[in-house]
Structure 1
């Protein structure tokens, strides 16, 4: 955790609203992108992020400052996302696709508003929630496999399997687009 984050957390624990606003500004966009990538719904993603920050604020006193903040925060975000998806009956998808992300994510970052980014976003939307979640955490948010396993409270081998299947499905999806 950065020294800046440590100071912010200490101020937040003392009730400093401005410090919480700074923390929000530091994590909100990233959180929204993560929630949107998983839910594929902007409104749901906004609700999830709002609930996440409410939980962070309410539970900040339980945060152990000797540990990194980002995994603690993302655990709350992922738990809120799971809770929201369970609650929401319209989130079932029968589509399961997967693929080669390193190159696609590289292209999407190089062409911020390019066609590759749109194609990648569309491809991710086609993945089921289980695969989309691990793909998003690994490739968009940069979490390690071990960190993802801890966040989702799953075995490392389960995460590896979901990443593999997710990449394979995305590859099929993206390959199918070229033939359209």
Structure 2
């Protein structure tokens, strides 16, 4: 299990083991790069965000509670760093590759939609709805995990996901009559 392996690595990192940090990086780099890219739509920016995220993880690893899951803690740092980066750059861009979200939206709208339409619509969503949708549909996080990342109530996350999906459906051609 990845959490067990992660916990072992973190114990080693806390003792100063540099190789363990490299292994932790190897475990999470691809997923974090995809998430940062989905938020920024820029490979170079995503790489910078991931690098800053891992620097913050390294600097703050001693404050991490080994009894709690690592993934939500890590993604909270990643999302915060992404948001900080976007605010610094003062632009919003996004790309999504999630077939699950496309499938859901295609079932709900009159006309078939494609990835470019979803990307354009996501750009128009506010940050809280867009990020929740990315974490759910691109990264496969549960509502509970997203709530932990944002330090929110699960019902708040469910509401953001619902509202985000509804806004996307309206932007992408309306809802089918049922």
- The TM-score, its normalising length taken from structure 2, stands at 0.74
What residue number does 2:143 align with?
A: 145
Given that 1:48 and 1:77 are in contact with CA atoms closer than 8 Å, whether structure 2 keeps it comes out as yes
Unpaired runs of at least 5, structure 1: 94-99, 106-114
Displacement of 1:122 in angstroms is: 5.6
Total equivalences in the alignment: 161
Aligned positions of 1:20-59 closer than 5 A: 20-59=21-60
Given that 2:41 and 2:93 are in contact with CA atoms closer than 8 Å, whether structure 1 keeps it comes out as no
What residue number does 1:129 align with?
A: 127
2:19 is paired with a residue whose SS is helix
What residue number does 1:2 align with?
A: 3
Distance across 1 between alignment mates of 2:119 and 2:21: 31
Distance across 2 between alignment mates of 1:137 and 1:41: 17
Aligned positions of 1:103-122 closer than 5 A: 103=103
Farther-moved stretch of structure 1 (11-20 vs 45-54): 11-20
1:43 is paired with a residue whose SS is helix
- The TM-score, its normalising length taken from structure 1, stands at 0.74
Given that 2:102 and 2:118 are in contact with CA atoms closer than 8 Å, whether structure 1 keeps it comes out as no
Farther-moved stretch of structure 1 (47-56 vs 11-20): 11-20
What residue number does 2:109 align with?
A: none
Displacement of 1:120 in angstroms is: 5.1
What residue number does 1:101 align with?
A: 101
What residue number does 2:108 align with?
A: none
Unpaired runs of at least 5, structure 2: 95-99, 106-112
Compute the RMSD of aligned alpha carbons: 2.9
Kindly indicate whether residue 88 of structure 2 is the aligned counterpart of residue 90 of structure 1. Answer: no
